[in-house]
Structure 1
Amino acid sequence: MELDNIEIIIEKYFQGETSIAEEKELKNYFTSSNVAQHLEHYKPVFGYFSLAKEQKFKQEIPLLPKSRDKKRNVAWLSIAASVLVLLGIGTYGYSNYGTANLNQGLGTYDDPEIAFRETQKALSQLSNHVNVGIESVHYIEEFDNSKNLIFKQ
């Protein structure tokens, strides 16, 4: 009768449906000396838990009280660095604000002839850059033509 009960509890155990009391019953049964022959292969499974329970950790863990101080120092250091960066950005922005206002007068001409010549220079430079871009487009068109010859779609 007890053997049938153990077999039922083993099935429930592997289904994950056992209670703590049933698991204790299995452990007690498999640690005893009168285990049925056909259930011997389960003995290491349930015997392992009793061995694992007896193991103790014997190595000492060194305590490092200074690590807490290091964390505080890192926190204060990061706050100080952030404040320093913000002050640097603010100083740079403030000093460049005055020079930006001075540079706003550039590009305005009183004489229309000088303004016309400067405009022609600027448009000539723009035209040169656009022409370089158009030449690149010709290369892409040539590539597409070659690709279409090779891979007839």
Structure 2
Amino acid sequence: MEFNKMEALLEKYFEGETSIAEENELKNYFSSSNVASHLEQYKPLFGYIVEAKNEKFEKNISLLSKKKKISWLSIAATIVVIIGIGTYTYFNVNDYFNVNEVKEKQELGTYEDPKEALEATQKALAMLSNNVNTGIEGMQYIKVYEMTKDKVFID
């Protein structure tokens, strides 16, 4: 009779439907010496649960001290600063070694002779005038379109 009850409890256990009291009953049964021979295969399972409950973790875990954390943080900050300086130098190295080009860039657009300056200014204004006239011609098409549209939709 008790074997049938244990088999039914085992089925409930494997389906995940047992209560804590029923699981304790199974543990007590399988930890005793009078286990049915056809249920012997489940004895290590419930024996392990009892043994695992009694195990304790005894390994010593060393924690990092604050000094070690701060030293790693300072090393990382130093590396970031060095990379930043290196990147800045890499991208701006031409400015340091090409001083003549920098002076030429600063002197761009200055004239010693007033006649040359007048000619360059007139040339620049003529180019500007041509571009503005081209834009105004484009606006003429829009004006014609609006007048035509007004005639079509008003009448």
TM superposition score normalised by structure 1 = 0.51
**1:51 is aligned to 2:58:** no
Query: 2:83 aligns to what SS in structure 1?
Result: helix
Q: How does 1:18-97 map to 2 (within 5 A)?
A: 18-58=18-58, 60-61=59-60, 63=62, 65-66=64-65, 68-97=66-95
> Distance between the aligned counterparts of 1:81 and 1:91, measured in 2?
15
Residue 22 of structure 1 deviates from its aligned partner by 1.9
Residue 89 of structure 1 deviates from its aligned partner by 2.7
Residue 7 of structure 1 deviates from its aligned partner by 0.8
Give identity over the alignment, percent.
47
Of structures 1 and 2, the larger Rg is shown by: 2
Counterpart amino acid of residue 26 in structure 1:
L
Give the 4+ runs in structure 1 shifted more than 4 A: none
Q: How does 1:83-122 map to 2 (within 5 A)?
A: 83-97=81-95, 99=98, 102=101
5+ residue gaps in structure 2? 105-155
Q: How many residues align?
A: 102
Residue 56 of structure 1 deviates from its aligned partner by 3.7
Residue 51 of structure 1 deviates from its aligned partner by 2.4
5+ residue gaps in structure 1? 106-153
TM superposition score normalised by structure 2 = 0.51
> Distance between the aligned counterparts of 2:27 and 2:82, measured in 1?
65
Residues 77 and 9 of structure 1: CA distance in aligned 2, closer, same or farther (over 3 Å): same
Residues 102 and 29 of structure 1: CA distance in aligned 2, closer, same or farther (over 3 Å): same
Task: Tell me how large the CA RMSD over aligned residues is.
Answer: 3.0
